[in-house]
Amino acid sequence: MPELPEVETVRLKLLSTIKNKTILNVDVFYSKYDCLKSIRNEKILDINRLGKFLIFNLEHFNLISHLRMEGKYRVETNPVKDKHDHVFFNLDSGETLVYNDKRKFGVFNLFSKDIDIYKVEPLLSVGAEPFTIKPSELFEKIHNKSLPIKSLLLDQSIISGIGNIYADEILFASKIHPLRQGKTITLSECESIIDNAIRIMTNSIKNGGTTIRSFESFNGESGHFQGSLSVHLKEGKRCINCGNYIKKIRVGGRGTYLCEACERIRDFKLIALTGTFASGKSTALKIINSLGYKTISLDDVYNDLFINNEKMRKEIFKHFNTLDKSILRELIYNEKCENEKLKEITHKYVFNEMFKIIEESNESIYFVEVPLLYEDSYEKIFDNVIAVSPSEDIERIIMAERHITEEVYDKVMESQLSDKEKCAKADYVIKNDSSIDSLKIKIKNVLKEVV
């Protein structure tokens, strides 16, 4: 359904084309629109808009048009009627304003000028637009609502003009999870919602709106803002802000796109634990867990998904024609492009599962082991990064314990940043150069700062 930017685009196109022209008569080809037959010799004085409604100001009438799913206008001279053309407004210029609607969902309401159209339906219950509503007004309307904020933004009586596409974009820009209840949204967050709505919708209007599937603004013209969308229809793509994977959920029956790292469902801290191969990351994570903190190993998450997630398994098999881990390991060690493809397939599942684990618990801080944090550009997902930096002796001990050969170690390290590079990028560094007890003391000292 066209939203405010698309309807405004239509309004501006119509205004520049038919303003001050006179409707001599109207041909109606679908009985639903028979009310329009009474429009004769009416000059089009202006065309206004409220939310998603177009308002044609005529000399003796106000005509309200709602395009619904696929209503559209075009102006032609001597038009050849299409089977989805339902109304011809014949103009004194010799042109015809054609209303076309494939689904026939569009609605017209005709009122005489002595009626205040803003005090009767359908405009009576339409809320203020993002361009006119004050943050305090929006806050007042939603602060006692238990419904998700996404559903509230789609309620045209609360705020008008926002539909599914722009609700996703606005909430992403405002860093607000679409499932958060209206009563949890603060006044400052209402300010952010309105500011981002104005910015996004203004940019969309400048680009002729968003064309997804069938929207045409006027005379078959498509919009161009779809190329600027950040999350809507981007499921499985990486977030432009943090590199996490865009997820699709359903809110109030509507497909909803979000980044769970940027749009957190509640306030929590996310700490990444990284380091080079055989640095002791896993040992450090176990120590942190033993100290009472919630920990997540992305390697463990991957291994569990590899066994239990049929959707991920099918994607892997479709590309590699195998689910044998030893064969896959050999492929990714020797073929960089195959390594990248495996990550492209699996990482979105891994991070979605990580956030699922977070959603199902209620901790205030999570420590996540992410081996290739910097190499794969995931650092912005996290609030802080701790690097585990091993001594050569510790590396040799870990390699011996895991039966890692020098050849395998060298292959793995070819695709990783050095210990020095990782430590330089990290917020905190834990030196793993002695005993487990020593490592535990160093971890405790770092946690005093992080937590």
CA distance 149 to 193: 10
CA distance 449 to 259: 28
CA distance 265 to 247: 13
Catalytic residue among 43, 175, 248, 254: 254
Query: CB under 8 Å to 360, separation ≥6 — which residues?
Result: none
CA 406 vs CA 80, 328, 399, 414: distances in Å: 77, 20, 9, 12
CA distance 195 to 88: 40
Amino acid letter for position 189? E
Q: Exposure string (b/e) for 28-41, b if CB count within 10 Å is 16 or more?
A: beeeebeebeebee
Catalytic residue among 3, 42, 70, 395: 3
Residue 199 bears catalytic tag: no
Amino acid letter for position 78? N
Catalytic residue among 13, 49, 52, 234: 52
Whether residue 70 contacts residue 52, with contact meaning beta carbons closer than 8 Å, is answered with no
- Token readout for 251 is 């809110």
Residue 254 bears catalytic tag: yes
CA distance 399 to 193: 52
- Token readout for 8 is 């405004």
User: Strand order of the sheet with strand 269-275?
Assistant: 294-297, 365-369, 269-275, 384-390, 428-432
Amino acid letter for position 237? K
Residue 52 bears catalytic tag: yes
Catalytic positions are: 2-3, 52, 254
